[in-house]
Amino acid sequence: MSAELWTIILVALSFLLYLYIGWRSRVKDSSGFYVAGQNVPQIANGAATAADWMSAASFISMAGLISTLGYDGSIYLMGWTGGYVLLALLLAPYLRKFGKYTVPDFVGDRYYSNAARLVAVVAALFVSLTYVAGQMRGVGIVFSRFLQVDISTGVIIGMVVVAFFSVLGGMKGITWTQVAQYGVLIVAYLIPAAAIAYILTGNPIPQLAFTFSDIVGKLNQIQLDLGFQEYSQPFANRSQLDVLFTTLALMVGTAGLPHVIVRFYTVPNVRAARYSAGWALLFIALLYTSAPALATFARYNLISTLHNQPITEVRQLDWANKWEKTKLLTFDDKNNDGRIELTPDKNTSEITIDPDIIVLSTPEVARLAPWVIGLVAAGGLAAALSTASGLLLVISSSVAHDIYYRIINPNASETQRVFVGRIMVGLAVVLAGYFGINPPGFVAQVVAFAFGLAAASFFPAIVLGIFDKRTNREGAIAGIVVGLIFTLFYIVGVKFYGMQPWLFGISPEGIGTVGMIINFIVTLVVSRLTPPPPIAVQEMVEDLRSPAGAELPVESVH
């Protein structure tokens, strides 16, 4: 059977599984809809968290960027992994002990203000809509290549599937669907990585093949022969300052992502939150320690397959022909010699490869079995849809729970709250589809912007809300607003209006770190210049940091 037929079969089977789980997990009460009834087992929540967090950016785009950028691409690996550890150890247990549904819930109650809640909702919507754009682009890319439909049609198919289990089951349906999606995506990632590792090095364990073989040395030499810098040379594409700021933005942005934080509200207690965080880290590590190896194998294979080969022969290769039709792979014989020349100069290089297709095309380039190619497509869809569903629920809960129920109609019944939540999921799906069809960049770039916005808005408010009882509502609101506006202005200006990166050359992906620092400063200064929080709030913060059963005297802060 062809790769396309295998793809149709495997994608159809996985989609039927997701739809079945969504139907079986349908809920009627708000607790089930927003936090899955807070009774998800630790291991299951760990798998769901890993799937929620490892988006299309992790599966489709991260290894592609590492393959394209070399050592400098590791900022995504370091930032996202370090951020999850930061979230799991520093914030998750406290937020679970707080015990509400959403991040705006925490902000609204901790800062005793519906204005703070509303500001947090706006920040959550900015972060989630930016993030979901990357997921829907990933869906469109997979469908456009493997099902031979245009990207818009692919996005619409993905919208229908994710809407079904999100609208019916809310967080409960999303959680159990994400458990299945983690299984699909990790198998789809590891099988081709192991197969290519064995073909190139004789060792089927990607991490060991990458570390103890000479594959990196061979690739370095090939790059030098072609005029590129060594693949493993650090800081070839970015300044050290930008590498630091981008890594930090990704790290603290991870710790401020509302769709990941809400996962820790779905377990029974604080202990379960800690254990599920540990399981999630293990599940994430399986993919993240394989990504550098897969990136290296992919670049080695691409250069070996394409450089100095006749363009007419390459175009006849099935994978090259079909990716070229998507316009994500292009050839241009600039010197009219009939052969492909790979050079570091974009003006003379005769091939352009979108980083988002590298992982998806690698099994085909390596000539693996057609079923492996179909499995990778199913895995890419699982990664994109799992994160998209979590983001859709954040968008829904931000409006339905934090605005409708907590501000507009506090007396709303369970039925009304769930109904509004489902309506908002539907509207969010439409918005997600629009951004998937009209994306602002590569998957990992778009996601990086979302992390920057989360770093500049939520992270300081959450950290100070837990560890500084003197921080008040005036400070938190001012900090979130200033940090978010500054970061958004810089990203939009540089990416869409031709503004130069004027702040020490820091890229849009790294500016979230500066926004976070500004947020911290503004929050602390304004809090000290305005009245302290009420005693009841200070006691709540003290209790939040205390082990269960401990009784500590609370001294008011003035």
DSSP state of 100: -
Amino acid 441: pLDDT: 56
| pLDDT tens digits, one per residue of 53-70 | 787 778 888 888 888 888
Q: Comparing 79-83, 275-279, 512-516, 543-547, which segment has the lowest mean pLDDT? A: 543-547
Q: Where are the beta strands (DSSP E) in 148-213?
A: none
Amino acid 185: pLDDT: 92
Alpha carbons 402 and 107: distance in angstroms, whole number: 10
The average pLDDT across 244-255 equals: 88
The average pLDDT across 490-516 equals: 88
The average pLDDT across 541-548 equals: 76
State yes or no: pLDDT of 401 exceeds 50. Answer: yes
| pLDDT tens digits, one per residue of 7-17 | 889 988 988 88
The average pLDDT across 37-59 equals: 84
| pLDDT tens digits, one per residue of 366-376 | 999 999 999 99
| Cα–Cα nearest to 163, from 367, 485, 436, 430 | 430
Helix (H, G, I), strand (E, B) or coil at 353: strand
In b/e form, how buried is each residue of 444-470, taking b as 16+ CB within 10 angstroms?
bbbbbbbbbbbbbbbbbbbbbbbebbb
Alpha-carbon separation of residue 411 from 394, 405, 407, 420 (angstroms): 22, 7, 10, 14
Please report, as a single letter, which amino acid is at residue 203.
N
| pLDDT tens digits, one per residue of 403-460 | 888 888 888 887 888 788 888 888 888 887 887 777 655 555 566 677 788 889 889 9
Can you read off the two tokens belonging to residue 219?
A: 């690739």
State yes or no: pLDDT of 355 exceeds 90. Answer: no
| pLDDT tens digits, one per residue of 197-219 | 999 999 999 999 999 999 999 99
Amino acid 165: pLDDT: 64
Alpha carbons 368 and 514: distance in angstroms, whole number: 45
| Cα–Cα nearest to 455, from 498, 406, 491 | 491
Alpha carbons 59 and 544: distance in angstroms, whole number: 36
Amino acid 553: pLDDT: 45
The mean of the pLDDT values for the chain is 84
Amino acid 248: pLDDT: 92
Q: Which of 147-161, 257-271, 367-381 has the highest mean pLDDT?
A: 367-381
| pLDDT tens digits, one per residue of 23-37 | 877 776 776 776 666
If you compute the radius of gyration of the chain from its CA atoms, what whole number of angstroms results?
24
Alpha carbons 541 and 468: distance in angstroms, whole number: 8
Amino acid 438: pLDDT: 74
Write the CB contacts of 195 (distance below 8 Å, at least 6 apart in sequence). Answer: 204, 363, 366, 368, 372
Q: Comparing 103-107, 136-140, 282-286, which segment has the lowest mean pLDDT? A: 136-140
State yes or no: pLDDT of 339 exceeds 60. Answer: yes
State yes or no: pLDDT of 554 exceeds 50. Answer: no
State yes or no: pLDDT of 380 exceeds 50. Answer: yes
Alpha-carbon separation of residue 60 from 124, 362, 443 (angstroms): 24, 11, 8
Can you read off the two tokens belonging to residue 30?
A: 């708000």
| Cα–Cα nearest to 138, from 118, 158, 120 | 158
Amino acid 556: pLDDT: 47
The percentage of the chain sitting over the pLDDT mark of 90, rounded to a whole number, equals: 27
Amino acid 292: pLDDT: 93
Can you state the percent helix, strand and coil of the chain, rounding each to 5? 75, 0, 25
Q: Are 277 and 477 in contact (CB under 8 A)?
A: no
The average pLDDT across 241-250 equals: 91
Can you read off the two tokens belonging to residue 43?
A: 């291991």
Torsion of CA 14, 15, 18, 23, to 10 degrees: -140
Alpha carbons 508 and 529: distance in angstroms, whole number: 32
State yes or no: pLDDT of 246 exceeds 60. Answer: yes
Q: Are 527 and 472 in contact (CB under 8 A)?
A: yes
| pLDDT tens digits, one per residue of 311-336 | 888 888 888 888 888 788 888 888 88
Torsion of CA 428, 430, 433, 438, to 10 degrees: -100
Q: Are 461 and 479 in contact (CB under 8 A)?
A: yes
Alpha carbons 160 and 385: distance in angstroms, whole number: 11
| Cα–Cα nearest to 476, from 402, 398, 530 | 530
Amino acid 351: pLDDT: 87
More confident residue, 149 or 475: 475
All structural domains of the chain, each given as residue ranges with its CATH number in brackets, are: 3-213+240-291+368-545 (1.20.1730.10)
Write the CB contacts of 480 (distance below 8 Å, at least 6 apart in sequence). Answer: 107, 116, 119, 120, 123, 457, 458, 460, 461, 519
In this structure, the number of other CB atoms found within 10 A of the CB of residue 432 comes to 28
Count of CA atoms in the C-beta half-sphere (13 A) of 415: 0
More confident residue, 518 or 158: 518
Q: Comparing 89-93, 97-101, 430-434, 485-489, which segment has the lowest mean pLDDT? A: 97-101
DSSP string, 213-242: SSHHHHHHHHHHHTTPPPTT-TTSSS-HHH
In this structure, the number of other CB atoms found within 10 A of the CB of residue 348 comes to 13
In this structure, the number of other CB atoms found within 10 A of the CB of residue 479 comes to 29
pTM score, two decimals? 0.83
Amino acid 61: pLDDT: 81
The percentage of the chain sitting over the pLDDT mark of 70, rounded to a whole number, equals: 93
Q: How far is CA 309 from the centre of its chain?
A: 36
